């Protein structure tokens, strides 16, 4: 039974976070290494990209891999799916 679903915007709207020697690195665009695999998702509702970066920097997975931030492509209004402009 479906618990959650999320349609994402294209990878061109991705911001990628990595951590090296305790310093957070923020990069526009997707992580380009095609050998990487999606390990899971965190869906958060925040006001803007700066807030998303702050929260993504706290994700446990940023300690060992890249964390992509990508806006959702849809949202609901009164139960109806709408495209996110």
Nearest to 41 by CA among 76, 75, 3: 3
Contact between residue 70 and residue 13 where contact means Cβ atoms under 8 Å apart: yes
Least confident of 26-30, 32-36, 59-63, 81-85: 32-36
pLDDT at 64: 85
Domain segments of the chain as ranges:
11-80
Tally Cβ neighbours within 10 Å of residue 56.
Answer: 22
**pLDDT tier at 3 (50, 70, 90 boundaries)?**
low
Give the pTM: 0.68
Contact between residue 18 and residue 66 where contact means Cβ atoms under 8 Å apart: yes
């Amino acid at each position: 039974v479906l618990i959650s679903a999320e349609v994402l915007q294209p990878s061109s709207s991705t911001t990628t976070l990595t951590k090296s020697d305790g310093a957070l690195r923020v990069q526009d665009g997707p992580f380009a290494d095609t050998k990487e695999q999606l390990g899971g998702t965190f869906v958060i509702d925040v006001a803007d990209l700066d807030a998303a970066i702050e929260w993504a920097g706290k994700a446990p997975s940023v300690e060992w891999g890249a964390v992509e931030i990508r806006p959702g492509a849809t949202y609901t209004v009164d139960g109806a799916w709408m495209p996110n402009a």
